[in-house]
Structure 1
Protein backbone atom coordinates (compact mmCIF):
# COMPACT_ATOMS: atom_id res chain seq x y z
CA UNK A 1 0.00 0.00 0.00
CA UNK A 2 1.28 3.42 -0.98
CA UNK A 3 0.05 6.45 0.97
CA UNK A 4 0.40 10.13 0.16
CA UNK A 5 -0.22 12.84 2.75
CA UNK A 6 -1.20 16.18 1.21
CA UNK A 7 -0.17 19.19 3.34
CA UNK A 8 2.12 16.89 5.28
CA UNK A 9 3.98 19.77 6.93
CA UNK A 10 0.88 20.82 8.88
CA UNK A 11 0.10 19.80 12.45
CA UNK A 12 -2.21 16.93 11.54
CA UNK A 13 -0.39 16.01 8.34
CA UNK A 14 3.01 15.71 10.03
CA UNK A 15 1.72 13.41 12.76
CA UNK A 16 -0.19 11.23 10.28
CA UNK A 17 2.98 10.97 8.20
CA UNK A 18 4.99 10.06 11.31
CA UNK A 19 2.42 7.44 12.36
CA UNK A 20 2.43 5.86 8.90
CA UNK A 21 6.24 5.81 8.68
CA UNK A 22 6.53 4.27 12.14
CA UNK A 23 4.20 1.51 10.99
CA UNK A 24 6.48 0.78 8.05
CA UNK A 25 4.05 1.92 5.38
CA UNK A 26 5.19 3.33 2.04
CA UNK A 27 4.59 7.04 2.68
CA UNK A 28 5.12 10.11 0.53
CA UNK A 29 4.81 13.63 1.91
CA UNK A 30 3.23 16.16 -0.46
CA UNK A 31 4.34 19.61 0.61
CA UNK A 32 4.40 23.08 -0.88
CA UNK A 33 7.70 24.13 0.71
CA UNK A 34 10.65 22.30 2.19
CA UNK A 35 9.79 18.92 3.67
CA UNK A 36 9.65 19.10 7.47
CA UNK A 37 8.32 15.59 8.02
CA UNK A 38 10.01 12.27 8.75
CA UNK A 39 9.06 10.99 5.29
CA UNK A 40 11.99 10.31 2.96
CA UNK A 41 9.81 10.36 -0.16
CA UNK A 42 8.57 13.80 -1.10
CA UNK A 43 6.52 15.54 -3.80
CA UNK A 44 7.08 19.29 -3.56
CA UNK A 45 4.10 20.98 -5.21
CA UNK A 46 1.29 23.34 -4.40
CA UNK A 47 -1.96 21.44 -3.91
CA UNK A 48 -3.58 23.18 -6.88
CA UNK A 49 -0.67 22.14 -9.14
CA UNK A 50 -1.06 18.42 -8.42
CA UNK A 51 -2.04 16.28 -11.39
CA UNK A 52 -3.57 12.86 -11.89
CA UNK A 53 -0.07 11.62 -12.74
CA UNK A 54 1.28 12.91 -9.42
CA UNK A 55 -1.31 10.95 -7.45
CA UNK A 56 -1.48 7.88 -9.70
CA UNK A 57 1.08 5.81 -7.70
CA UNK A 58 -0.89 6.01 -4.47
CA UNK A 59 -3.59 3.73 -3.10
CA UNK A 60 -4.62 6.21 -0.40
CA UNK A 61 -4.37 9.99 -0.41
CA UNK A 62 -4.80 11.79 2.92
CA UNK A 63 -6.10 15.33 2.54
CA UNK A 64 -4.67 17.16 5.55
CA UNK A 65 -5.13 20.61 4.07
CA UNK A 66 -6.51 23.23 6.41
CA UNK A 67 -7.21 26.94 6.09
CA UNK A 68 -8.10 29.21 9.00
CA UNK A 69 -7.76 32.54 7.18
CA UNK A 70 -11.31 33.93 7.04
CA UNK A 71 -10.53 35.45 3.65
CA UNK A 72 -9.53 32.10 2.17
CA UNK A 73 -12.10 29.71 3.63
CA UNK A 74 -13.37 28.88 0.14
CA UNK A 75 -10.12 26.98 -0.34
CA UNK A 76 -11.57 24.14 1.74
CA UNK A 77 -14.07 23.47 -1.05
CA UNK A 78 -11.68 24.31 -3.89
CA UNK A 79 -8.88 22.02 -2.72
CA UNK A 80 -11.26 19.17 -1.97
CA UNK A 81 -12.86 19.45 -5.41
CA UNK A 82 -9.42 19.46 -7.04
CA UNK A 83 -8.25 16.34 -5.20
CA UNK A 84 -11.60 14.62 -5.76
CA UNK A 85 -11.41 15.29 -9.49
CA UNK A 86 -7.88 13.83 -9.60
CA UNK A 87 -8.99 10.48 -8.12
CA UNK A 88 -12.46 10.41 -9.71
CA UNK A 89 -13.36 7.06 -11.23
CA UNK A 90 -10.33 5.27 -9.78
CA UNK A 91 -9.92 2.72 -6.99
CA UNK A 92 -7.87 5.23 -5.04
CA UNK A 93 -9.18 6.34 -1.67
CA UNK A 94 -9.32 9.91 -0.42
CA UNK A 95 -9.25 10.42 3.36
CA UNK A 96 -10.31 13.95 4.31
CA UNK A 97 -9.68 15.64 7.63
CA UNK A 98 -12.81 17.59 8.47
CA UNK A 99 -13.96 19.53 11.51
CA UNK A 100 -16.14 18.76 14.50
CA UNK A 101 -18.70 21.47 13.79
CA UNK A 102 -20.75 19.26 11.47
CA UNK A 103 -21.25 16.57 14.11
CA UNK A 104 -24.70 16.22 15.62
CA UNK A 105 -25.35 16.77 19.32
CA UNK A 106 -28.79 15.14 19.44
CA UNK A 107 -30.07 11.64 18.68
CA UNK A 108 -32.55 12.99 16.12
CA UNK A 109 -29.70 14.54 14.11
CA UNK A 110 -31.33 17.95 13.92
CA UNK A 111 -28.73 20.10 15.73
CA UNK A 112 -25.11 20.37 14.63
CA UNK A 113 -22.38 21.34 17.06
CA UNK A 114 -21.62 24.52 15.08
CA UNK A 115 -25.22 25.67 15.62
CA UNK A 116 -25.23 25.30 19.39
CA UNK A 117 -25.23 28.47 21.56
CA UNK A 118 -21.85 27.75 23.17
CA UNK A 119 -19.93 27.19 19.96
CA UNK A 120 -17.12 29.81 19.88
CA UNK A 121 -17.89 32.60 17.42
CA UNK A 122 -14.29 32.87 16.23
CA UNK A 123 -14.31 29.26 15.02
CA UNK A 124 -17.71 29.37 13.31
CA UNK A 125 -16.56 30.49 9.84
CA UNK A 126 -14.02 27.66 9.59
CA UNK A 127 -16.51 25.13 10.98
CA UNK A 128 -19.14 26.25 8.47
CA UNK A 129 -16.64 25.98 5.61
CA UNK A 130 -15.73 22.44 6.68
CA UNK A 131 -19.39 21.52 7.08
CA UNK A 132 -19.89 22.68 3.49
CA UNK A 133 -17.11 20.37 2.28
CA UNK A 134 -18.80 17.40 3.96
CA UNK A 135 -22.04 18.14 2.12
CA UNK A 136 -20.11 18.53 -1.12
CA UNK A 137 -18.16 15.29 -0.85
CA UNK A 138 -21.36 13.40 -0.02
CA UNK A 139 -22.51 14.21 -3.56
CA UNK A 140 -19.46 12.51 -5.10
CA UNK A 141 -20.31 8.90 -5.87
CA UNK A 142 -17.34 8.84 -8.25
CA UNK A 143 -14.83 9.08 -5.40
CA UNK A 144 -13.91 6.55 -2.68
CA UNK A 145 -13.90 9.19 0.04
CA UNK A 146 -13.81 9.03 3.82
CA UNK A 147 -14.43 12.17 5.89
CA UNK A 148 -12.87 12.08 9.35
CA UNK A 149 -13.83 14.54 12.08
CA UNK A 150 -11.93 15.04 15.34
CA UNK A 151 -13.56 15.59 18.71
CA UNK A 152 -14.48 19.23 19.48
CA UNK A 153 -11.36 19.75 21.61
CA UNK A 154 -8.56 18.76 19.20
CA UNK A 155 -5.39 18.71 21.31
CA UNK A 156 -2.08 19.09 19.50
CA UNK A 157 -0.12 18.65 22.74
CA UNK A 158 -2.30 15.77 23.89
CA UNK A 159 -0.64 12.46 24.71
CA UNK A 160 -0.75 9.42 22.48
CA UNK A 161 -2.68 6.71 24.28
CA UNK A 162 -2.86 4.40 21.28
CA UNK A 163 -6.60 4.04 21.77
CA UNK A 164 -9.72 5.89 20.69
CA UNK A 165 -13.45 5.50 20.10
CA UNK A 166 -15.47 6.47 17.04
CA UNK A 167 -18.96 7.57 16.07
CA UNK A 168 -20.59 7.98 12.68
CA UNK A 169 -22.07 11.44 13.01
CA UNK A 170 -22.51 12.30 16.69
CA UNK A 171 -20.54 13.97 19.45
CA UNK A 172 -19.77 11.17 21.93
CA UNK A 173 -16.89 12.81 23.80
CA UNK A 174 -15.09 16.08 24.31
CA UNK A 175 -11.52 15.68 23.14
CA UNK A 176 -8.89 13.72 21.23
CA UNK A 177 -5.17 14.19 20.81
CA UNK A 178 -3.66 14.79 17.39
CA UNK A 179 -1.52 11.68 17.95
CA UNK A 180 -4.49 9.38 18.57
CA UNK A 181 -6.34 10.99 15.68
CA UNK A 182 -3.33 10.23 13.48
CA UNK A 183 -3.52 6.59 14.55
CA UNK A 184 -7.21 6.49 13.61
CA UNK A 185 -6.42 7.99 10.20
CA UNK A 186 -3.72 5.42 9.46
CA UNK A 187 -5.95 2.60 10.74
CA UNK A 188 -8.62 3.74 8.28
CA UNK A 189 -6.07 3.99 5.48
CA UNK A 190 -5.14 0.37 6.10
CA UNK A 191 -8.59 -1.08 6.80
CA UNK A 192 -10.91 0.96 4.57
CA UNK A 193 -13.87 0.60 6.95
CA UNK A 194 -15.70 3.82 6.10
CA UNK A 195 -15.89 4.05 2.32
CA UNK A 196 -18.08 6.99 1.24
CA UNK A 197 -18.89 7.64 4.89
CA UNK A 198 -17.91 9.99 7.70
CA UNK A 199 -16.68 8.99 11.12
CA UNK A 200 -15.43 10.95 14.12
CA UNK A 201 -12.63 10.18 16.56
CA UNK A 202 -12.69 10.72 20.34
CA UNK A 203 -10.50 9.88 23.31
CA UNK A 204 -11.52 6.56 24.80
Structure 2
Protein backbone atom coordinates (compact mmCIF):
# COMPACT_ATOMS: atom_id res chain seq x y z
CA UNK A 1 0.00 0.00 0.00
CA UNK A 2 1.32 3.40 -1.00
CA UNK A 3 0.47 6.30 1.31
CA UNK A 4 1.21 10.00 1.01
CA UNK A 5 1.10 12.10 4.20
CA UNK A 6 0.62 15.78 3.48
CA UNK A 7 2.21 18.12 6.04
CA UNK A 8 4.24 15.20 7.35
CA UNK A 9 6.46 17.55 9.37
CA UNK A 10 3.56 18.62 11.60
CA UNK A 11 2.84 17.06 14.98
CA UNK A 12 -0.01 14.87 13.76
CA UNK A 13 1.74 14.18 10.47
CA UNK A 14 4.90 12.91 12.15
CA UNK A 15 2.99 10.49 14.36
CA UNK A 16 1.00 9.18 11.39
CA UNK A 17 4.15 8.69 9.32
CA UNK A 18 5.87 6.92 12.22
CA UNK A 19 2.92 4.55 12.68
CA UNK A 20 2.62 3.79 8.96
CA UNK A 21 6.36 3.24 8.51
CA UNK A 22 6.38 1.01 11.58
CA UNK A 23 3.84 -1.25 9.88
CA UNK A 24 6.03 -1.58 6.81
CA UNK A 25 3.83 0.53 4.55
CA UNK A 26 5.23 2.50 1.60
CA UNK A 27 5.08 6.08 2.91
CA UNK A 28 5.91 9.35 1.18
CA UNK A 29 6.16 12.59 3.14
CA UNK A 30 4.72 15.61 1.34
CA UNK A 31 6.49 18.64 2.77
CA UNK A 32 7.47 22.15 1.72
CA UNK A 33 10.93 22.05 3.24
CA UNK A 34 13.35 19.50 4.62
CA UNK A 35 11.66 16.28 5.71
CA UNK A 36 11.87 15.70 9.47
CA UNK A 37 9.48 12.75 9.60
CA UNK A 38 10.34 9.04 9.56
CA UNK A 39 9.43 8.68 5.89
CA UNK A 40 12.21 7.60 3.55
CA UNK A 41 10.46 8.94 0.46
CA UNK A 42 9.81 12.66 0.07
CA UNK A 43 7.76 14.84 -2.26
CA UNK A 44 8.83 18.41 -1.69
CA UNK A 45 5.88 20.53 -2.73
CA UNK A 46 3.31 22.92 -1.29
CA UNK A 47 -0.14 21.40 -0.78
CA UNK A 48 -1.73 24.00 -3.02
CA UNK A 49 0.67 23.15 -5.85
CA UNK A 50 -0.06 19.42 -5.84
CA UNK A 51 -1.40 18.00 -9.10
CA UNK A 52 -3.23 14.85 -10.12
CA UNK A 53 0.05 13.56 -11.55
CA UNK A 54 1.75 14.02 -8.17
CA UNK A 55 -0.80 11.87 -6.34
CA UNK A 56 -1.86 9.32 -8.95
CA UNK A 57 0.48 6.60 -7.66
CA UNK A 58 -0.93 6.58 -4.13
CA UNK A 59 -3.64 4.35 -2.73
CA UNK A 60 -4.28 6.73 0.17
CA UNK A 61 -3.56 10.41 0.72
CA UNK A 62 -3.62 11.55 4.35
CA UNK A 63 -4.22 15.27 4.84
CA UNK A 64 -2.64 16.48 8.09
CA UNK A 65 -2.82 20.17 7.14
CA UNK A 66 -3.55 22.67 9.88
CA UNK A 67 -4.01 26.44 10.00
CA UNK A 68 -4.28 28.41 13.22
CA UNK A 69 -4.08 32.15 12.53
CA UNK A 70 -7.06 34.33 11.63
CA UNK A 71 -5.80 35.04 8.13
CA UNK A 72 -5.05 31.38 7.33
CA UNK A 73 -8.15 29.72 8.81
CA UNK A 74 -10.01 29.83 5.45
CA UNK A 75 -7.31 27.49 4.11
CA UNK A 76 -9.02 24.61 5.88
CA UNK A 77 -11.68 24.89 3.19
CA UNK A 78 -9.49 25.89 0.25
CA UNK A 79 -6.90 23.17 0.92
CA UNK A 80 -9.53 20.44 1.10
CA UNK A 81 -11.24 21.76 -2.02
CA UNK A 82 -7.94 21.64 -3.88
CA UNK A 83 -7.17 18.09 -2.80
CA UNK A 84 -10.68 16.97 -3.70
CA UNK A 85 -10.36 18.52 -7.15
CA UNK A 86 -7.02 16.79 -7.66
CA UNK A 87 -8.37 13.40 -6.56
CA UNK A 88 -11.81 13.75 -8.16
CA UNK A 89 -12.98 10.60 -9.92
CA UNK A 90 -9.99 8.49 -8.83
CA UNK A 91 -9.78 5.44 -6.57
CA UNK A 92 -7.28 7.17 -4.29
CA UNK A 93 -8.79 7.61 -0.85
CA UNK A 94 -8.46 10.92 1.02
CA UNK A 95 -8.21 10.71 4.81
CA UNK A 96 -8.47 13.98 6.72
CA UNK A 97 -7.17 14.87 10.17
CA UNK A 98 -10.26 16.64 11.48
CA UNK A 99 -11.39 18.54 14.54
CA UNK A 100 -13.59 17.72 17.53
CA UNK A 101 -15.58 20.96 17.67
CA UNK A 102 -18.03 19.78 15.01
CA UNK A 103 -18.89 16.51 16.79
CA UNK A 104 -22.51 16.38 17.88
CA UNK A 105 -23.57 16.19 21.51
CA UNK A 106 -27.24 15.29 20.97
CA UNK A 107 -28.99 12.47 19.09
CA UNK A 108 -30.74 14.95 16.79
CA UNK A 109 -27.36 16.22 15.56
CA UNK A 110 -28.34 19.85 16.03
CA UNK A 111 -25.83 20.86 18.73
CA UNK A 112 -22.07 20.56 18.38
CA UNK A 113 -19.25 20.53 20.92
CA UNK A 114 -18.30 24.06 19.85
CA UNK A 115 -21.80 25.28 20.72
CA UNK A 116 -21.37 24.39 24.37
CA UNK A 117 -21.01 27.09 27.06
CA UNK A 118 -17.66 25.69 28.20
CA UNK A 119 -16.05 25.68 24.76
CA UNK A 120 -13.15 28.18 24.88
CA UNK A 121 -13.74 31.37 22.91
CA UNK A 122 -10.19 31.30 21.59
CA UNK A 123 -10.86 28.05 19.73
CA UNK A 124 -14.25 29.01 18.26
CA UNK A 125 -12.87 30.54 15.02
CA UNK A 126 -10.80 27.41 14.37
CA UNK A 127 -13.74 25.12 15.12
CA UNK A 128 -15.98 27.14 12.80
CA UNK A 129 -13.43 27.02 9.98
CA UNK A 130 -12.99 23.28 10.31
CA UNK A 131 -16.76 22.70 10.54
CA UNK A 132 -17.21 24.67 7.32
CA UNK A 133 -14.56 22.58 5.60
CA UNK A 134 -16.26 19.38 6.76
CA UNK A 135 -19.65 20.58 5.52
CA UNK A 136 -18.14 21.27 2.11
CA UNK A 137 -16.37 17.91 2.09
CA UNK A 138 -19.68 16.15 2.69
CA UNK A 139 -20.89 17.49 -0.66
CA UNK A 140 -18.09 15.77 -2.57
CA UNK A 141 -19.56 12.61 -4.05
CA UNK A 142 -16.66 12.37 -6.50
CA UNK A 143 -13.98 11.66 -3.88
CA UNK A 144 -13.47 8.67 -1.57
CA UNK A 145 -12.93 10.72 1.59
CA UNK A 146 -12.96 9.91 5.29
CA UNK A 147 -12.86 12.60 7.99
CA UNK A 148 -11.49 11.49 11.36
CA UNK A 149 -12.25 13.68 14.37
CA UNK A 150 -10.12 13.26 17.49
CA UNK A 151 -11.49 13.36 21.03
CA UNK A 152 -12.12 16.73 22.64
CA UNK A 153 -8.76 16.65 24.44
CA UNK A 154 -6.25 15.97 21.66
CA UNK A 155 -2.90 15.57 23.40
CA UNK A 156 0.27 16.06 21.38
CA UNK A 157 2.43 14.84 24.24
CA UNK A 158 -0.05 12.29 25.55
CA UNK A 159 1.04 8.73 26.22
CA UNK A 160 0.13 6.16 23.63
CA UNK A 161 -1.95 3.26 24.91
CA UNK A 162 -2.10 1.29 21.69
CA UNK A 163 -5.89 1.15 21.87
CA UNK A 164 -8.82 3.36 20.97
CA UNK A 165 -12.59 3.40 20.71
CA UNK A 166 -14.09 4.08 17.29
CA UNK A 167 -17.06 6.45 17.29
CA UNK A 168 -19.23 8.19 14.75
CA UNK A 169 -20.73 11.64 14.43
CA UNK A 170 -21.32 12.12 18.16
CA UNK A 171 -18.79 12.90 20.89
CA UNK A 172 -17.84 9.58 22.47
CA UNK A 173 -16.62 9.18 26.05
CA UNK A 174 -14.47 6.34 27.34
CA UNK A 175 -15.15 4.22 30.42
CA UNK A 176 -13.75 6.99 32.60
CA UNK A 177 -16.21 9.49 31.15
CA UNK A 178 -13.40 11.29 29.31
CA UNK A 179 -13.00 12.53 25.76
CA UNK A 180 -9.25 12.32 25.32
CA UNK A 181 -6.77 10.81 22.87
CA UNK A 182 -3.04 11.14 22.30
CA UNK A 183 -1.57 11.88 18.89
CA UNK A 184 0.06 8.43 19.10
CA UNK A 185 -3.25 6.61 19.48
CA UNK A 186 -4.92 8.84 16.90
CA UNK A 187 -2.20 7.85 14.44
CA UNK A 188 -3.01 4.18 15.04
CA UNK A 189 -6.66 4.83 14.22
CA UNK A 190 -5.73 6.84 11.12
CA UNK A 191 -3.47 4.13 9.73
CA UNK A 192 -6.04 1.45 10.58
CA UNK A 193 -8.55 3.33 8.45
CA UNK A 194 -5.98 3.78 5.69
CA UNK A 195 -5.41 0.02 5.58
CA UNK A 196 -9.03 -1.10 5.96
CA UNK A 197 -10.99 1.62 4.16
CA UNK A 198 -14.20 0.87 6.06
CA UNK A 199 -15.64 4.39 6.24
CA UNK A 200 -15.67 5.96 2.81
CA UNK A 201 -17.56 9.27 2.65
CA UNK A 202 -18.11 9.22 6.40
CA UNK A 203 -16.97 11.22 9.40
CA UNK A 204 -15.77 9.02 12.23
CA UNK A 205 -14.24 9.85 15.60
CA UNK A 206 -11.80 8.24 17.99
CA UNK A 207 -11.17 8.35 21.74
CA UNK A 208 -8.64 6.52 23.90
CA UNK A 209 -9.93 3.59 25.95
TM-score bracket, shorter-length normalisation: over 0.9
Which whole-Å CA distance do the structure 1 matches of 2:117 and 2:135 have between them? 22
* 176, 188, 191: which one aligns with 1:186: 191
Q: After the TM superposition, which parts of structure 1 deviate over 6 Å for at least 4 consecutive aligned residues?
A: none
Q: Spell out, residue by residue over 1:138-177, the C-alpha distance to the aligned partner (whole angstroms, 9 max, x if none).
A: 0000000000000010001111111000211111121000
Which whole-Å CA distance do the structure 1 matches of 2:2 and 2:185 have between them? 21
Unaligned ranges ≥5, structure 1: none
Per the alignment, residue 121 of structure 1 pairs with: 121
Tell me by how many angstroms 1:108 deviates. 2.1
1:101 partner SS: coil
Number of matched pairs: 204
Per the alignment, residue 82 of structure 1 pairs with: 82
Which whole-Å CA distance do the structure 1 matches of 2:70 and 2:117 have between them? 21
Written as runs of structure 1 = structure 2, the 5 A alignment for 1:34-113 is: 34-113=34-113
Q: Spell out, residue by residue over 1:32-59, the C-alpha distance to the aligned partner (whole angstroms, 9 max, x if none).
A: 1110001110000111111111101100
TM-score in terms of structure 2 length: 0.96
Q: Does 1:200 align with 2:177?
A: no
Per the alignment, residue 26 of structure 2 pairs with: 26
Which whole-Å CA distance do the structure 2 matches of 1:153 and 1:161 have between them? 15
Quote the RMSD (CA, aligned, Å). 0.6
1:146 partner SS: strand
Which whole-Å CA distance do the structure 2 matches of 1:40 and 1:117 have between them? 45
